[in-house]
Amino acid sequence: MGVVAVGCAKKTPPPTTAGVRQPPPAQPFAVVAGWEGPAADAANMAERTPSTRALRALQGRVPLVHLRRGPWSPAKPFEAAFELVLFQDGTLVYEGHRCVKLGGLIVTRLSGDELARVRAQLAAGCVGLGASPADEVCEDGIHTRLTCSNGEQVLTGDSRCRREREDGKRLNALATNLLAETQVVTWLGEPTERHACEVEAGDLAPREISRILTAGR
């Protein structure tokens, strides 16, 4: 018959060596994963923060205009791919990505008259913008996405799959007028003046605008 002992067993002390002081028991310590901690936080912040110091003051501001044209497509290699954002105080940030005369990052300030003309364009043209569902299939190639304020509301529209529709034509007309008023059209240049139009060419600009607009979200 098996015997099961029930009760309290006397705890046997650990062996000691006479005259020798034993080390204290090991204490558990916190283990921080490689993707956690101050270094990881700093890396994540750097990823979200513009590397150009002059742009950091723009974080958190609501833009007057945010205009993107892209992505560059080998189907239409000589169409410019770029991005710009214009703020209420006239600060304009431009990134020329592919097939543009001036690539890279440009930061400038519109004059009071230029900014007034832009606001007039927005009051008249930043209305009734539309966008197609993401899963709608249409022709390949570059398209324009525009977010703008007409003084009363902020609207967003996209010309993808809508070039021949009335709202798509209105969006493209507004984008053309804005590029002229801000002089960005001269930075895009004529097709014969543009760079990085080849398939093997790389992006000419950093992605600073996306960091400005996503910082703090």
> Can you give the pLDDT at residue 36?
57
**What DSSP state is assigned to residue 22?**
P
Give CA–CA dist 99/73, Å, rounded.
10
- Minimal CA–CA distance to 106: which of 180, 189, 209? 209
Q: How many Å apart are CA 189 and CA 194, to the nearest integer?
A: 6
Would the pTM count as exceeding 0.85?
A: no
Q: Would you state the pLDDT for residue 136?
A: 78
pLDDT of res. 216: 46
Which residues does 188 contact at the CB level (< 8 Å), separation at least 6?
Answer: 80, 82, 96, 100, 101, 102, 179, 194
Q: What is the pLDDT of residue 22?
A: 64
Contact 168, 159 (CB under 8 A): yes
Q: What is the pLDDT of residue 5?
A: 40
Rounded to 5°, the CA angle 203-118-106 comes to 30
Q: Which domains does the chain show, CATH number per domain?
A: 39-134+141-214 (3.30.1560)
Nearest to 182 by CA among 71, 66, 98: 66
If the chain, 217 residues long, is cut into consecutive pieces of 10 residues, what is the mean pLDDT of each piece? 42 54 59 52 60 90 95 91 97 98 97 97 93 74 91 92 86 96 97 95 94 73
Res 149: pLDDT: 97
Q: Compute the C-alpha angle 7/12/13, nearest 5°.
A: 145
Distance CA 43, CA 34 (A): 12
- Nearest alpha-carbon partner for 63 in 146, 167, 160: 146
Q: What is the pLDDT of residue 24?
A: 63
Q: Where are the alpha helices (DSSP H) in 58-99?
A: none
